[in-house]
Amino acid sequence: MYKISRFSKQTKLSPRMLRHYDSIGLLQPGHVDKVTGYRYYADSQFQDAMEIIRLKRYDFSLEQIKTILETHDPDHFRNLLQKQIGSLDEAATRRKKQK
């Protein structure tokens, strides 16, 4: 188990962001010390953290990311990804027109 500070350094997610993800149920620590309140993360949570980072790069909302991680449904993810690609293409086209 890793304290939030070490997990933060390893994942490059700030402790503030990790606390936020915990509060919205996106990435909850594997263990919280009842006395100190310290958050601890397990090795297995690195995969979820990396997936969150990857999905954020494609401008998915935290709510969408949470749904993707909870459902593990490839068809649902594929549909969301196709919509997101369309949205990103439209945004890129608008930016090009503004220049």
CA 23, 32, 47, 68 dihedral sign is: negative
Reading the block at residue 53, the tokens are: 């980072």
Q: What is the CATH number of the domain that holds 18?
A: 1.10.1660.10
| pTM of the model as a whole | 0.78
SS (H, E, C) 50-69: HHHHHHHHCCCCHHHHHHHH
**pLDDT tier at 16, thresholds 50, 70, 90:** very high
The confidence score (pLDDT) of residue 75 equals: 86
Domain interval for residue 8 = 2-98
> Is residue 90 classed exposed, middle or buried when 0-12, 13-18 and 19+ CB atoms within 10 A define those classes?
exposed
Rounded-to-integer distance, Cα 21 and Cα 44, Å: 16
| pLDDT of 18 above 90 | yes
- The structural domain count of the chain equals 1
